[in-house]
C-alpha cells in the first residue's frame, strides 16, 4: 500500500465470549460448547458457539433444545459479562502499544489507524505481530482487515475467520467485495436485505449497478443509497479522531445479547454490571453527570431509551443506581431483549462544576454561613477588635 493512502486496521476478536470461556476454563479448548442458555432447564438460545460446535451446524440465536438435539453432549456455558469487560480492556490496552488512534467499535472490535506505524514496518508484518501478540499475551484470537477506509477494513476482517488477515484495497473491490451476498454487507439491516433480495439484488456488486437504482430506491431513501455506494466504492471515511471522546457529552455502555432474553433479574443484573463499568470510567476521568438512562432493544429491534435527570451534577454511584432501578421497573414489561445499555448524559469535568443556587444548595450554603458567623462571633467576643464580618459602611 502507498504511504499517502490511509492504512486502517479493523481488528475483530474471534468468538469473543467463547474465547473468554476457554481462558477461564481451559478444558473447553477444542470442545463443542456454546455460551448462553441453560443445559439444566434446556431453555434459552445460543449467544456464541465455539468453532467446533459451528462445524456441527450449531450457531448463535439457535434454540438450546435444537442445539442439543444436534449434539446431545454439547457443553453449555453461562454468560459472564464481568469476564468479557475484563478482557475487552486488556484488548484495547494492547492495541494502544501500536497506535494511539483507536476507535472502539464494540466490546470486541476496534478500528486502528496504522498509517504512521506502516512507514517503518509493512502492514502485513504489523498485523501478524498484533495477531500473535494477542494470542500469546491474552489468549485472544482475532481476525484483521486492512484497508484504506473504515468500512472496507470492517468488510475485510469478516472475510477470513478465525485468525485471518485480509487486505482489501480499492483495486480489489470488484474481485473481492462485489461477489459477496448482499446480506453480508456491513450496515444493511436484517429488515432491509430480504427486501433487496426480493427485488433481485443478491450481491454487493448488483447493488452498485446503475440500472438497479430505481428498484433499490423502492426499498431505501436516496441518501442511504448514495451512502452505501460511497462505502462500497471506497469513498467513505478514513478518519479516526481519538480526541473526539476526550471530554464526552455522554458516556454509554451497551451489549448485544445475541439471543432474546426475558428474565427480568438477569437483564437487570447485566445493567448493574454496565453501570459499574460506566461509573468507573466517570470517576477515573474525573467527570460528573446529571442524567442517567437505560437503553433497551427488543426482539423486533425496536429501541427504547429512557432517562432521568437528577437535581444536580454528581458522581455518586447510589444516586445513579436508584434512578436506573426506577427506570427499569417503569419501562421493562417482560419483553424478550436483544440489547441493553446504560448511559450518562450532561457530562462535564468535575473541576468545571459550578453550583447552581436552587432551594437545596441555598439552604446548604445558609447553614455553612451560619456556622462561619457563629465562629466569628465567638472570636469577636474573645478578641473584640481582631475580626470584622466584612460589612462595608457607606457614607
Tell me the catalytic residues: 109
Residues 13, 16, 19, 25: is their CA dihedral positive or negative? positive
Query: Do β-strands 75-77 and 33-35 pair in parallel, antiparallel, or remain unpaired?
Result: parallel
Which spans in 158-263 are helix H? 193-198, 204-208, 213-216, 222-232
Backbone angles phi, psi at 121, to 5 degrees: -145, 140
3-state secondary structure of 340: strand
Which spans in the chain are helix H? 16-24, 51-55, 64-70, 81-95, 123-138, 150-157, 193-198, 204-208, 213-216, 222-232, 264-284, 317-331, 359-382
**What distance in Å separates the CA atoms of residue 343 and residue 279, rounded to the nearest whole number?**
10
3-state helix, strand, coil in the chain (%, to 5): 45, 20, 35
Is 34:67 a contact under the CB 8 Å cutoff? yes
The answer for 93, left when phi > 0, alpha when psi is -120 to 50, beta otherwise, is alpha
Amino acid at each position: 500500500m502507498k504511504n499517502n493512502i490511509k492504512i486502517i486496521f479493523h481488528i475483530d476478536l474471534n468468538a469473543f465470549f467463547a474465547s473468554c470461556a476457554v481462558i477461564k476454563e481451559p478444558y473447553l479448548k477444542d470442545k463443542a460448547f456454546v455460551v448462553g442458555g441453560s443445559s439444566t432447564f434446556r431453555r434459552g438460545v445460543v449467544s456464541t458457539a465455539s468453532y467446533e460446535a459451528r462445524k456441527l451446524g450449531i450457531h448463535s440465536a439457535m434454540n438450546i433444545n435444537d442445539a442439543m438435539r444436534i449434539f446431545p453432549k454439547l457443553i453449555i456455558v453461562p454468560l459472564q459479562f464481568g469476564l468479557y469487560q475484563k478482557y475487552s480492556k486488556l484488548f484495547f490496552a494492547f492495541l494502544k502499544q501500536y497506535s494511539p488512534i483507536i476507535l472502539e467499535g464494540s466490546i470486541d472490535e476496534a478500528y486502528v489507524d496504522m498509517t504512521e506505524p506502516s512507514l517503518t514496518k509493512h502492514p502485513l508484518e504489523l498485523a501478524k505481530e498484533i495477531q500473535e501478540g494477542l494470542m500469546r499475551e491474552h489468549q485472544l484470537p482475532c481476525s484483521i482487515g486492512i484497508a484504506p477506509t473504515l468500512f472496507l477494513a470492517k468488510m475485510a476482517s469478516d472475510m477470513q475467520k478465525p485468525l485471518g488477515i485480509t487486505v482489501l484495497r480499492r483495486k480489489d473491490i470488484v474481485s473481492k467485495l462485489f461477489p459477496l451476498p448482499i446480506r453480508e454487507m456491513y450496515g444493511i439491516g436484517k429488515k432491509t436485505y430480504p427486501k433487496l433480495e426480493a427485488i433481485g439484488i443478491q450481491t454487493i456488486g448488483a447493488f452498485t449497478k446503475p440500472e438497479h437504482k430505481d428498484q433499490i430506491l423502492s426499498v431505501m431513501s436516496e441518501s442511504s443509497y448514495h451512502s452505501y455506494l460511497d462505502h462500497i466504492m471506497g469513498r467513505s471515511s478514513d478518519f479516526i479522531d481519538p480526541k473526539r471522546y476526550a471530554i464526552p457529552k455522554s458516556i454509554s455502555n451497551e451489549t448485544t445479547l445475541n439471543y432474546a432474553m426475558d428474565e427480568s433479574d438477569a437483564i437487570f443484573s447485566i445493567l448493574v454490571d454496565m453501570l459499574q463499568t460506566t461509573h468507573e470510567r466517570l470517576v477515573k476521568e474525573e467527570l460528573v453527570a446529571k442524567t442517567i438512562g437505560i437503553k433497551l432493544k427488543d426482539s423486533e429491534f425496536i429501541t427504547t431509551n429512557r432517562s432521568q435527570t437528577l437535581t444536580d451534577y454528581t458522581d455518586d454511584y447510589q444516586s445513579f443506581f436508584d434512578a436506573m432501578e426506577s427506570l427499569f421497573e417503569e419501562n421493562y414489561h417482560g419483553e424478550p431483549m436483544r440489547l441493553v445499555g446504560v448511559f450518562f448524559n450532561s457530562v462535564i469535568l468535575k473541576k468545571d462544576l459550578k453550583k447552581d443556587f436552587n432551594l437545596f444548595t441555598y439552604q446548604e450554603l445558609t447553614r455553612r454561613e451560619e456556622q462561619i458567623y457563629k465562629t466569628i462571633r465567638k472570636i469577636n467576643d474573645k478578641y473584640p477588635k481582631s475580626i470584622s464580618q466584612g460589612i462595608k459602611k457607606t457614607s
